[in-house]
Amino acid sequence: MRGKHDNHSAVEWKIASACVAGRGHSDSGANCQDAYAIKRKNDILAVCLCDGAGSARYSEDGANIVANSICDFLIKESVSAFNGTMSAKLIIDFARESIASFISSHKGSLKDYACTLVAMLLKADQGIAVHIGDGLIAIVEAGRPRVLSAPDNTEFANQTTFITSPDAQARLRIQSFTVPEIATSFALMTDGAQASLYQRKGDIVSQVVEQMASWLDSASENEASVGIQSVITEHLLSQTFDDCSVVILRNTQASFVLACPECKRWDIQHKQTEKTTFLIRCENCGHCFPLSYKIGRKYPVEIRRWVSHLVKYRKMNLSQVHKTTGISTTTLRRWNRSYPTPSISCQF
C-alpha cells in the first residue's frame, strides 16, 4: 500500500475549492456569505470554511474574518491542538477578538458577524477537526466517503449555533484523529452543499465527493476548483436557496488501489479472462473495463496493491481473495508469505 506513512507533509495535500452564492441571495442582491481560508506552515496545514448567518448584517465579513483568524490560530497553537490541550474557549475567544478588532474600525456588533465554522488541522498523519454549527467534514477511505464531523442543527433546519452565539463554547466540537493509510481525501462543506452531498437519514455522504477529489490526481488546483464551481452551479444550487461551498483535500502521495473510473469506489472484482487480461467490475456501480498486462511480465502493480488491500483492510483469507480475483492460490501465497502452506488438516 502506501510506502512510508510518515511522508505526509503540507505539500502532499492538493486543495480545490469553490464558494457559490445561493439563489436566495441573487433575489436580494447579496453576495456569497460563505468564505474559506487555507494556511500552510512547514508541514502543517490548516483549512477553515465559514458560513455567514443569513440574518446577520455583516456575516459575509464575519465569515472571512473567522476563516482567516482560525487558520492562523490553529497553526500557531498546533502543539496544544495535537497534544489535546487546546480548549474551545480559546478558539471562540480568538475568533470573537478578531471580529471585535474589525468592528473597532467598522460598524455593527458581534452578532452582526455571526457565522458557522468547519475547520481542519493536519500534520503528518495527525488531524484535528474543529466544528461549530451546521456544515460537514467528510473523509474518504478506500474510495468510500463517510462523515468525520456531522452538522449540528439543534432541532430545526433553520436554527444552528454560530461562533457568536451564547452557547458557542458548549457546542463547539474538537475531534482529534489519525489519518488512516487508506484515507485519500477530505471534504469540508457548508449546509447548502450538504443538501445534495449528504443524507441525514443513514448518515450517507455522496460518492460525488470522491469523484471531484480524484480530479486533483491529474489537474491543477485551479482547474479542479473551476470544475467544482461548475458542479455546484449546475447541480447543487437548484436544490437549495443557500450558498453552496465545498473545499476538497486530496492526498497526492497515496498509493492508490485501483479505483473504478466511474464512481471512484475501490470495491471491485477482478476476473482473469485471458492469460494477460483482467476484467474489472465495480461492485458499486457495475462499470466494467479490461486491464491488460504484457505476456511474461508480472501482474500489474494495481492488481498486487489490490490484493494487499483485500488482505489488510477487507480481512480476506486466501480462499476469499482467490475467489474475488481469480488469481491462483500458489501465486497469492507467494505474494503473502503469512498464509500458511496447506496441509490436509488446514481449512479455509
Partner 1 sequence: MTNFSIRKQDLITNPTPRVAVCLCLDVSPSMSGEVEQGAHPDTVGVPIDELNKGIIEFYKSIRSDTRAKYSAEVAVVAFSTTPVVERDFESIINATPPQLTLKAGGTSLGTAIEKCLTLLENRKNEYKEAGVDHYQPWLIVMTDGLPTDQTHQDSALKVVDLVNKKKLSIIPIGIGGGADREALSIMSPKFSPLKLKGLKFKEFFEWLSCSISGVSRTSTEEEYKPDYEKAKRLGDPLN
Residues that bind partner 1 (CB under 8 A): 24, 53-56, 111, 114, 153-162, 164-167, 195-202, 204, 206-208, 211-212, 215, 218-219, 223-224, 226-227, 230-231, 235-236, 239, 241-242, 262-263, 285
The strand pairing partners of 141, in sequence order, are 144, 183
Q: Minimal distance in Å, beta carbon 217 to partner 1? A: 8
Q: Measured from the CB atom, is 124 or 147 closer to partner 1?
A: 147
| Beta carbon nearer to partner 1, 24 or 300 | 24
CA distances from 343 to 66, 317, 339, 347 (A): 65, 16, 12, 9
Unique residue bearing C-alpha cell 491488460: 292
Q: How far is the CB of 45 from partner 1 (least distance, A)?
A: 23
Taking the least distance from each CB to partner 1, the nearer of 79 and 170 is: 170
CA 79 to chain centre: 23
CA-to-CA dists, residue 33 to 21, 56, 82, 222, 230, angstroms: 7, 10, 30, 21, 18
117-123/144-149 β-pairing: unpaired
**Measured from the CB atom, is 160 or 184 closer to partner 1?**
160
Q: In what order do the strands lie in the sheet with 277-282?
A: 268-274, 277-282, 288-292
User: Which is nearest to 37 in space by CA: 121, 159, 161?
Assistant: 121
What is residue 78's three-state secondary structure? helix
Smallest distance from partner 1 to CB 156, Å: 5
Name the minimum Å distance from CB 8 to partner 1.
24
Closer residue to partner 1, CB minimum distance, 81 or 208 = 208
Radius of gyration, CA atoms only, the chain? 23
- Compute the least distance from the CB of residue 323 to partner 1, in Å: 28
